[in-house]
Structure 1
Amino acid sequence: MVEFRIHDEHTAPQEVAPALEHAKRNFGFVPNLYGVFAESPQAFNGYQALSEQFQNTSLSTQAKHVVWLAASRQNSCHYCMAVHSAMAQQAGVDTDTIEAVRTDKPIPDESLEAVRRFTQAVIAHQGFVPEDETQAFLAAGYGQRQILDIVLGVAMKTLSNYTNHFANTPVDDAFQEHTWNT
């Protein structure tokens, strides 16, 4: 197995060191995923750009967290499941919703359940989502924009989930209580 270095603001390539310093000011530490991504400034910056754009999508805050969690679960990413469980909790997503996604159970809120199912379908079918599943998503009150917004979220999580698979990124101490195993 290849061992990936987890950079900090002192060891990172010059192009991303200021961003890691900024992350340390915001979080109080450099998240391990950022430290891994720092090895490639382009991967780091690409992830940051996807993240920023996903934050600006038409999806509600709760729906964004469901996308992050559902994609991370579908991709079996231990690191992102812990981080996004903590972030969802901090954002006020109810515990039942978080736990439903973590355990692959239906979310009681039908609108959020539609987001969970569609996100999983996008990944499971590699974008070739069966028509009946797409129509069910649309019937839940979503449109073409939300389809593309979810695809953006899936792209963001695929980049981080796969990176974590390669690097076997350790869960940061701040997220340990949300550790998840497949």
Structure 2
Amino acid sequence: MPRLTRLTPDTAVGASRDLLADLVSRHGHIGDMVSTMAHSPAVLGGYLQLSRAMGRAKLDRRTGERISIAVQARQGCGLCLDAHISAARALGVDEDEIERARAGTSADPATAAIIALALQIYREPSSITDEQVDALREHGYSDRAMADVVGIVALNILTGAFNLLAGLTPDSATGA
């Protein structure tokens, strides 16, 4: 059962009303997380900006979705985990790789290394070493790609933590 109520352009106020009205006019609908985030225009606006920015990430989407699956499997947001598994499937990630991502790895050593970095950023970023960064470069990852991992992890922390606070679960969701 959701803990926070959903807002609409009619029930939201101020900046949140404007943000929701814009989203509805462009997309026709808004999902539970976004409509609930509207309680805080700062959180909603920040989420929308970071989400758009991460759409320009250097990492390919298949890798980004596997990182998101690994993070959400640890954070415990079922709504986010389901969404990222669905997105990974739509991008052609096979079930074995989805399961490996849930476990925090990949059959591909380069993908396993970037997922490991993401999980370290999530758990203990102060423990990242120069040797790890050098190894990622040897796998072909640029500084930009590694920096993008921080953004992907941050976006997942924001959405997962928000959904957990709000009580949004796969069973409570009414829209994308």
TM-score range, shorter chain: 0.7 to 0.9
Contact persistence 1:97–1:108 (CA under 8 A): yes
Residue equivalent to 1:180: none
The offset of 1:34, in angstroms, is 0.8
Per-residue deviation at 1:53?
A: 0.9
Q: Which moved more, 1:116-125 or 1:68-77?
A: 68-77
- Corresponding residue number in structure 1 for 2:162: 163
Structure 2 CA distance for partners of 1:29 and 1:74, relative to 1, 3 Å: same
Q: 2:148: which partner in 1?
A: 149
Q: Which 10-residue stretch deviates more, 120-129 or 80-89?
A: 120-129
2:38 is the counterpart of 1:7: no
Alpha-carbon RMSD across the aligned residues, in angstroms, is 2.6
Gaps of 5+ in 1: 176-182
Say whether the 8 Å CA contact 2:32–2:174 is kept in structure 1: no
Deviation of the 1:18 alpha carbon: 5.1
Contact 1:74 1:123 (8 Å CA) reproduced: no
Question: How do 1:59-70 residues align onto structure 2 when only pairs under 5 Å count?
Answer: 59-70=59-70
The answer to whether the aligner puts 1:50 opposite 2:50 as a matched pair is yes
Deviations 1:126-145 (A, max 9, x none): 35324443343333221321
> Structure 2: which 5+ residue stretches go unaligned?
none
Higher RCO by CA contacts (8 Å cutoff, separation 6 or greater)? 2
Task: Report the equivalent of 1:123.
Answer: 122
Identity of aligned residues (%): 21
Q: Give the Å deviation of 1:96.
A: 2.2
Question: What letter corresponds to residue 137 of structure 2 in structure 1?
Answer: L
Contact 1:32 1:170 in 2 (8 A): no
One-letter amino acid of the structure 1 residue matched with residue 50 of structure 2: L
Deviation at 1:84, TM superposition (A): 1.1
Distance 1:89 1:18, change over 3 A: farther
Provide the aligned length of Structure 1 versus Structure 2: 173
More divergent stretch after superposition (80-89 vs 138-147): 138-147
Q: Secondary structure at the match of 1:58?
A: coil
Q: Distance in 2 between matches of 1:110 and 1:38?
A: 40
Instruction: Summarize the Cα distance change of 1:42–1:60 in structure 2 as closer, same or farther, 3 Å threshold.
Output: same
Greater Cα offset, 162-171 or 124-133: 124-133
Q: Deviations over 1:49-74 (max 9, x none)?
A: 11111110111121121222222223
Q: What's 1:113 paired with?
A: 112
In structure 1, how many angstroms separate the alpha carbons of the residues matched to 2:53 and 2:89?
22
Q: CA deviation at 1:19?
A: 4.3
| SS across alignment from 2:125 | coil
- TM-score, normalised on structure 2? 0.82
